[in-house]
Amino acid sequence: MQTKPDLDEARRVLQEVFGFADFRPGQAEILQAVLDGDDILAIMPTGAGKSLCYQLPALLRPGLTVVVSPLIALMRDQVEQLKQRGVPAAALNSTNSGQDNAMIEAALLKGRYRLVYVAPERFVRADTLSMLRRAGADLLAIDEAHCVSQWGHDFRPEYRALGESLVALGRPQIVAVTATADGPTRAEIMERLFPAEPRQFIRSFDRPNLRLAMQRKHKPVQQILAMIARHKGESGIIYCASRKGVEKLTEILSAQGIFALPYHAGLAPEIRAAHQDMFVRHENVVIVATIAFGMGIDKPDVRFVCHADLPGSIEAYYQEIGRAGRDGLPADTLTLFGEADIRLRERQIEDNDAAPERKRLDRRKLQELIALCETPRCRRQTLLAAFGEQSEPCGNCDICEGRWPLFDGVVAAQKVMSAILRTSGRFFSGHLAHLLIGHATEAIKRHSHDLLPTFGVGREFTLSEWRSIFHQLHALNLIEQDEEDRDRWCLTQGGRAVLRGEAELTLRGEMALPTGRSADIRK
Ligand code: ADP
Ligand code: ZN
């Protein structure tokens, strides 16, 4: 009987074929499990080296490895890299000519390839499945597995059918990998892609070399220019929420003599490819892009990522900043957010005719993101906590660096909380801010909130400062949305302690201190 390949053999192939000295953290355990024949779900941060977890076994096992991958560009890069290493690999997708695809299929049936990458919509076709089965496919790798989740930000309907294709393919071993999976997404991946519970490997999401910072937009262009100035001659990505934003910002930056190139889905494919190529090849290109840019781009030395607008969600934020510093060297991130961004996102959620359950989840995700923007606590702690990870203050974020003025927030918190209680938790930050400041808006009058004792007790702060305080209380888990009734705010146990004056509370001001000054930092 043939013995199973072991880790020593895997290490030999790692060195001889891939030219890497050793495994990266996490890879060895996953490879061992793949070689043992287990079904696997691996959640590892971007840049951790997930591809190797199926590419290397493909070389050690007798059968054909099929990789389903959502992006043609990503497929092409991986196949190119494999070919350069002398690994016979091919891709079946819609950018090949019909003739190319037919030739690849013929070669597959002759056993010419170790790996074949297939676009999901093609993979699920009955003819493709039957061809792959005849070609001896027995390992199915699913890249970017979170695309199966309709709660996720990259939902791909074709991924839904993957689970049902398994029988037609003859029940291959499954290795699903992703960088993004919070609890609900993880559960959905397991349910949709695996016939039985897989072995799970979850590596820390921490990317300690990324400096994290978030700022309210006050002079966004200046804020972005300051970031670029700190990284003269280095590569960076600036994400904008819209194509128009991309165009405008590219113009502004170019006028300042910065080598900036736009990237968005409205540009011709050749232009996009050319700009991406410039970015990857050169060291000093700043790419100004919508979120259309980035998935699958393997550029290790991106030194900064900036969000000119609020990102789509915490996961999107994490994935986008994750494109910086893949080489492990220090890299800088800055996220700008504004009240208009938040309003726009709220409107998009409300105007969307999604199911109520979905809307509620979207609202909650937005709240979490805003809470991260407004948090008085270490950014990394807050970010990792959103992925279920406990950690200590990091020392490498704007909050830890003491760039924000801090103040004793007990009284302010008590005012917000009593406003919440007096309005039965039915109203959100904007309404409560008007209430505290004593603005008799239409809504305030309609609900007779101008008659409440809390009306006008908070004139010491501005509207947006109150909003910020509200979000900070949420970030600190002092207030939360009711479990049953998500449209209702209530106080947590910690919140009640602050309300009774039994706990201390430090909040932060709304504007970061000018660089160089440092605030009294109390945790
Ligand atoms: P992910 O899919 O997890 O974001 P990739 O699989 O694209 O990451 O790998 C990121 C980079 O790390 C690639 O350039 C890859 O070649 C490299 N890499 C992977 N494993 C190793 C290793 N053991 N040693 C050195 N480099 C590695
Ligand atoms: Zn920190």
In this structure, what token pair is assigned to residue 142? 């699913």
Contact 292, 264 (CB under 8 A): yes
% the chain with pLDDT above 70: 96
Residues 6+ apart with CB under 8 A from 59: 13, 17, 87, 114
Residue 486 has pLDDT above 70, yes or no: no
Phi, psi of 43 (to 5 degrees): -115, 110
Nearest residue by C-alpha to atom 14 in ligand 1: 298
Residue 439 has pLDDT above 90, yes or no: yes
Whether residue 261 has its Cβ less than 6 Å from ligand 1: no
Q: In what order do the strands lie in the sheet with 199-202?
A: 89-92, 115-118, 64-68, 137-142, 173-178, 40-43, 199-202
Environment class of residue 159 by beta-carbon count within 10 Å: exposed (0-12), middle (13-18) or buried (19+)? buried
Residue 389 has pLDDT above 80, yes or no: no
Per-residue pLDDT tens digits for 178-215: 987 777 888 889 999 999 999 999 887 788 999 999 99
pLDDT of residue 519: 44
Confidence band of 365 (pLDDT split at 50, 70, 90):
confident
Contact 468, 430 (CB under 8 A): no
Q: How far apart are CA 18 and CA 165, in angstroms?
A: 31
Long-range Cβ contact pairs of 157-164 (< 8 A, separation 24 or more): 158/120, 158/121, 158/123, 158/124, 159/70, 159/120, 159/192, 160/192, 161/120, 161/124, 162/68, 162/120, 162/123, 162/124, 162/192, 162/193, 163/192, 163/193, 163/194, 163/195, 164/124
Ligand 1 atom index nearest CA of 53: 6
Ligand 1: which of 11, 13, 20, 205 to mutate, judged by most atoms within 8 Å of the beta carbon? 20
Averaged pLDDT for residues 256-261: 96
% the chain with pLDDT above 90: 66
**What ipTM was estimated for this complex?**
0.96
Averaged pLDDT for residues 75-80: 92
Residues 6+ apart with CB under 8 A from 315: 146, 152, 153, 180, 182, 185
pTM of the model: 0.66
Which ligand does the CA of 48 lie closest to? 1
Among the listed residues 127, 126, 108, 130, the one whose alpha carbon sits nearest the alpha carbon of residue 117:
108
28 CA distance to ligand 1 middle (Å): 13
Task: Tell me whether strands 286-289 and 214-216 are parallel, antiparallel or unpaired.
Answer: unpaired
* Cα separations in angstroms, 341 against 164, 234, 272, 278: 39, 28, 26, 30
Q: How far apart are CA 221 and CA 253, in angstroms?
A: 9
pLDDT of residue 20: 84
Whether residue 20 has its Cβ less than 6 Å from ligand 1: yes
pLDDT of residue 517: 43
Confidence band of 515 (pLDDT split at 50, 70, 90):
low
Confidence band of 388 (pLDDT split at 50, 70, 90):
low
pLDDT of residue 514: 62
Q: How far apart are CA 253 and CA 258, in angstroms?
A: 5
65 CA distance to ligand 1 middle (Å): 19
DSSP tag of 428: -
Degrees, nearest 5: CA angle 420-426-427: 70
* Mean of pLDDT over the chain: 90
Task: Tell me whether strands 137-142 and 115-118 are parallel, antiparallel or unpaired.
Answer: unpaired
Which uninterrupted H or E stretch holds 233?
A: none
Long-range Cβ contact pairs of 362-365 (< 8 A, separation 24 or more): 363/486, 364/481, 364/486, 365/313, 365/314
Whether residue 428 has its Cβ less than 6 Å from ligand 1: no
Contact 495, 433 (CB under 8 A): no
Q: How far apart are CA 50 and CA 314, in angstroms?
A: 21
Whether residue 407 has its Cβ less than 6 Å from ligand 1: no
Neighbours of 22 (CB within 10 A): 9
Q: How far apart are CA 520 and CA 523, in angstroms?
A: 10
In this structure, what token pair is assigned to residue 486? 């998500």
* Cα separations in angstroms, 311 against 283, 364, 384: 25, 15, 17
Which uninterrupted H or E stretch holds 496?
A: helix 493-499
Q: Rounded to a whole number, what is the largest CA-CA distance in the chain? A: 84
Residue 255 has pLDDT above 90, yes or no: yes
Confidence band of 367 (pLDDT split at 50, 70, 90):
confident
Whether residue 26 has its Cβ less than 6 Å from ligand 1: no
In this structure, what token pair is assigned to residue 414? 């008590």
Residues 6+ apart with CB under 8 A from 44: 26, 50, 177, 179, 201, 202, 203
Whether residue 45 has its Cβ less than 6 Å from ligand 1: no
Scored b (16 or more CB within 10 A) or e, 461-491 reads bebebbbbbbbbbbbbebbbbeeeebeebbb
Nearest residue by C-alpha to atom 12 in ligand 1: 49
Question: What is the separation of C-alpha 93 from the centre of its chain, rounded to a whole number of angstroms?
Answer: 26
Contact 119, 125 (CB under 8 A): no
Whether residue 180 has its Cβ less than 6 Å from ligand 1: no
Nearest residue by C-alpha to atom 18 in ligand 1: 49
Residue that has been written with the tokens 């490498």 in this structure: 396
Neighbours of 412 (CB within 10 A): 22
Which ligand does the CA of 372 lie closest to? 2
Among the listed residues 23, 73, 31, 76, the one whose alpha carbon sits nearest the alpha carbon of residue 48:
23
Averaged pLDDT for residues 123-135: 95
Whether residue 46 has its Cβ less than 6 Å from ligand 1: yes
Ligand 1: which of 14, 17, 51, 79 to mutate, judged by most atoms within 8 Å of the beta carbon? 51
Scored b (16 or more CB within 10 A) or e, 137-150 reads bbbbbbbbbbbbbb
